[in-house]
Structures are given as structure tokens and as C-alpha cells.
Amino acid sequence: MATDPWPVPRALTGRLVSLELLREDHAEALPASASDPEVWRWKLMPRPTTVAEMAATIRDRLLVDPTGARRQPFLVTRLSDAAAIGSTTLYDLNVVHGCVEIGETWFDRSCWGQGYNEDSKHVLLTYCFGSLGLERVAWRVDNLNTRSQEALRRMGFVYEGTLRSHRRRPDGSRRDSVYFSLLVNEWPACSARLLELIQARAPQPGAPTS
């Protein structure tokens, strides 16, 4: 996997959000999006509460891990006002086998249920199945994070199974990882479903954005 090519995309733009590669100088704009502890509840890393801590988190997420599995983190920006509302990451890209995982995603709590998550997923999946030509995209979710599991099912992703005692949470407890995936032949139907959800949930013109 260390030898897999990893293309560097331009900004990826959807109906509600734009995604660009995350940089350390984005640290000043991002802490507000993670200020609510509920936003960070199921993350495997400590919640950054200052600009310095966010910068350190970004540096850590940009590093190549010891196994050589690179990650490609993105800043998520709301198109209506250019506000930084969160982040999401592609990792474990394997071009030979045509697969990747999406994770380490968070959104400002004020943006929940308004189509931003769905639009972000649609943008990334279009990139994965289109530009990268992949055949499989996977997600892993904490077994106690029922909200995210329900959201993935609602968007059309398929439950695959559960890895028991797969990771250690920041509080030291063990978590099971619930796996979902989407295959390239399932993408057209999922794309249509995501666009329906974006249309139904998107803030109306003139409505407040936070």
C-alpha cells in the first residue's frame, strides 16, 4: 500500500459544501466546529479545544503512519458563507485493490440535519468512484454511535459486520467497530438518494446558517 499513487485533488465542490486538503494554517478556523463535546464524542483522539491543539491534531492527521497507509484529510467549508464547519478524511487508499476508507469526520453541531454531511459524502464518493476509479468505499463506526450508524443506513450504505474489541477509546474502554461499505455498482442509487436528502434537508435561501 505504501507504493500506491495518491493524487492531490483540487477543491471538491458540492451543492452546500466545498472540500479542500487540510493544512496546518486551517487550525485557527476549525476549533469552533469542534467546540461542542457531543461533536467529538466518538472520536479516537482527544478533542482539540485551542488553536494550538487543533494545529497539533492536523499535523498528526497529515503524517504518514508507520505502516505506510497514507491519509488525505479535508477541510469542509460551507459555501453560503465560507465558514469552516468541519473535516473528513480519506485513508488506507489502495489503488491496486480499488478501495479506501472514509472517517474522522465531524461537523459543527449547528450543521447537523441540514444536508451538509450528505453533501460532503456525495462529493467524496463522486471523487472516489469517479476521479480515483475505486470500486469500494468503507466506513467504521463505534458500536455505541447509533446516530452515525442510522445516518449511514439512511444514506444507502450497507452494513458488513462488526469487529469486536477493535479499538481503544480515549477513556480506556474497548470499542467494537461496525463496518459499512458502498460498492461502485451501488453508487448510482446511493447518489440519487443522497441528492434527495440534500434537497430535503438543505437550508432554505435566506434562512440563518447557524
At 72-116, the pLDDT tens digits run 899 999 999 999 999 999 988 888 899 999 999 999 999 999 999
Q: DSSP letter at 196?
A: H
pLDDT tens digits for range 105-156: 999 999 999 999 999 999 999 999 999 999 999 999 999 999 999 999 999 9
CA distance 35 to 65: 27
Residue 52: strand, helix, or coil:
helix
pLDDT tens digits for range 10-36: 789 999 999 999 999 999 999 999 999
CA distance 43 to 163: 17
What pLDDT sits at residue 95?
A: 82
**Range of lowest pLDDT (22-26, 56-60, 175-179):** 56-60
Query: How many other C-beta atoms are found inside a 10 Å radius of the C-beta of residue 75?
Result: 22
State the pLDDT confidence band at 5, using cuts at 50, 70 and 90: low
Query: Among all chains, which residue has been given the C-alpha cell 438518494?
Result: 193
How many separate helices (H) and strands (E) can be counted in the chain?
4, 8
Query: How many other C-beta atoms are found inside a 10 Å radius of the C-beta of residue 180?
Result: 21
Nearest Cα neighbor of 165 from 153, 174, 154 is 174
Residues 6 or more apart in contact with residue 121 via CB below 8 angstroms: 102, 155, 194
